[in-house]
Amino acid sequence: MEKMKLSEATTRRLPLYYRCLSELSKKGEDKVSSAILEDLLKIDAATIRRDFSYFGQMGRRGYGYDVKTLLMLFNDALKQDTTANVALIGVGNLGHALLNFKFHQIGNARISAAFDVNQEIVGTVQSKVPVYDISDIQEQIKEQDITVAILTVPASAAQKMADMLVKAGVHGIMNFTTELIDVPSRVIVQNVDLSVELQALIYSINHQNQADLF
């Protein structure tokens, strides 16, 4: 597929489309409309059609989209056939939860190495993932061809760990800390602040309840 520049919002929706289409394919569905996808994913049909248009004019009026064709295109775009090795930095409560999450069952990523300062778990295997000392980050990331890291360390250590990851050559960091880390433009950071997400959800619920009063 010809390389294309997708918007950040579209990029975030691609895995949702791929997962939904995979489920439809397993159920034997050959075609799907943007209206059906809107109902399943709660994404506006016009947005879905606009996202799909990045990949060419595939939909046909009165027929919809061919599920297998979309799956092949999104499989290529998301590189589902290539496993991405991921490093987990910080094996605390959240880190343990992420180690137990079966990323490989719903995508093409797997946590292949974990790192921590706690010498009681360094050298052990947690949920089938070896735990290394923080000082081994650079060596293991290069040896295992790790491109992405998940950061679940205390906020006070976030920037230091990010600097080590950049030096080791990672391309992306999923930052679960509350610290806004500073990295070169070549490294992509995705901030996941669970407290902010929860507050946003509560706000949306309260806003909806107030709207229902009028």
Sequence-distant (6+) residues with CB within 8 A of 69 are: 58
Task: Extract long-range pairs of 197-200: CB within 8 Å, 24+ residues apart.
Answer: none
For CA atoms 158, 163, 168, 174, give the dihedral sign: positive
* Distance, C-alpha 211 to centroid of its chain: 33
- What is the DSSP annotation of 64-103? BEEHHHHHHHHHHHHTTTSPEEEEEE--SHHHHHHHHS-H
Q: Is 92 annotated as a binding residue?
A: yes
Contact between residue 103 and residue 110 where contact means Cβ atoms under 8 Å apart: yes
Per the annotation, does 91 bind a ligand?
A: yes
Ligand-binding site membership of 94 (annotated): yes
95 annotated to a ligand binding site: yes
Report whether 172 belongs to an annotated binding site.
no
Annotated binding residues, as ranges? 90-95
Q: Which residues are annotated as a binding site for NAD(+)?
A: 90-95
